Amino acid sequence: MRPIIATLILTPALLHAQVSKQAAGLSLEARTDALKMTMPAIKAAVTPAATPATPMLRVSTGVLAAKIIHSAEITYSAGELNTTDNRVVVRVLVNEQGLPQSAQIVSSRNPDLNGRVLDAVKQYRFRPAQLDQQAVPEHVNLTFVFER
């Protein structure tokens, strides 16, 4: 690739020198005409080959994640909690209307809370995710941490 680039860069200088040497005995006008005749060929050799038209890709005008606008309360007693970790992670598919379509437990250390967490998540309402100012479905992970 480098020899090709070097050749393309040096070609005008070499052709100019060659034309100047051949036209040494010619008048100034004849020299100018000789240069004009060789220069279009050089420009044609340097211009890139025409590429087929590629489809334009649209760049996003904005991406907004889903956001909770209404949540539900989860009732629990201190006796139901573990002593170490009371964290429940739920994966929710939020549809274009901002409603939770499916919810599943991703991780939980306290299975006694799983049913109540899933029931509460079904009552949640979201501002739907947006792509290019249009609502789109999105998976959201919610982490619930219960404390005594």
Query: Is 54 domain-assigned?
Result: no
Could you give the C-alpha distances from 80 to 106, 109, 114, 119, in angstroms and in order?
Answer: 20, 12, 12, 17
- Mark whether 81 and 124 lie in a shared domain: yes
pTM of the model: 0.56
- Mark whether 33 and 77 lie in a shared domain: no
Query: Is 58 domain-assigned?
Result: no
- Which residues constitute the domain of residue 132? 63-145
How far apart, in whole angstroms, are the C-alpha atoms of residue 126 and residue 140? 10
Mean pLDDT of 12-24: 52
- Mark whether 33 and 78 lie in a shared domain: no
Question: Could you give the number of structural domains in the chain?
Answer: 2
120 has a pLDDT exceeding 90: yes
Give the model's confidence band at 54: pLDDT under 50 very low, under 70 low, under 90 confident, else very high.
low
User: What is the model's pLDDT at position 18?
Assistant: 54
- Mark whether 95 and 122 lie in a shared domain: yes
Q: Judge contact between 6 and 13, C-beta under 8 A.
A: no
